[in-house]
Amino acid sequence: MRISPLFSRIGTAAVLMAALFVGGATAPAVAAVGHVCYTALPPEAHDTLDLIEDGGPYPYPQDGGTFYNREGLLPDQETGYYHEYTVETPGSPDRGARRIVTGDSYQEDYYTADHYASFRLVDYGC
């Protein structure tokens, strides 16, 4: 069974609970990531995930590059843990806004349709 990266860090729940019981304590920021079923992704995202699994070749030189999580929406990890890949947008004259961001954990793939303003963890079980 795969545990969501949102709750995989031991201690997060304990810190949140402590913040509820200690007056004036501020809870730490927790990554804001939703979920999306693999089957609900656009076909171009499936194509990108297939390319990632095959190791390329990728359509853009930026694909496979480090994603730095500057927005802070994904769980905190060391630099180099996340990598980004383009999801083609039909009709777009450039790379568009859609991406897959992968983590180093098995099936830790995030989809964004709005150029990193939000992320959804891909659920392969639905």
pLDDT, residue 89, reads 94
Q: Listing from the earlier edge strand, what are the strands of the sheet with 65-67?
A: 33-37, 119-123, 109-112, 99-102, 82-86, 65-67
**Catalytic residue list contains 46:** no
Closest CA relative to residue 110, chosen from 85, 80, 89: 85
The CATH classification number of 32-123 equals 3.10.450.30
pLDDT, residue 38, reads 97
* 76 and 29 Cβ atoms separated by less than 8 Å: no
Given 46, 53, 71, 115, the catalytic residue: 115
pLDDT, residue 30, reads 43
pLDDT, residue 25, reads 39
Given 44, 53, 83, 84, the catalytic residue: 84
pLDDT, residue 36, reads 97
pLDDT, residue 33, reads 85
Strand intervals (E) in the chain: 33-37, 65-67, 82-86, 99-102, 109-112, 119-123
Enter the DSSP assignment of 84.
Answer: E
**Catalytic residue list contains 84:** yes
pTM recorded for the entire structure? 0.74
**Residues of the chain falling short of pLDDT 50:** 1-30
Report the first-to-last Cα separation within the chain, whole angstroms.
14
pLDDT, residue 17, reads 37
Q: What six digits make up the tokens of 113?
A: 């349709």
User: Can you give the residue ranges of every domain in the chain?
Assistant: 32-123
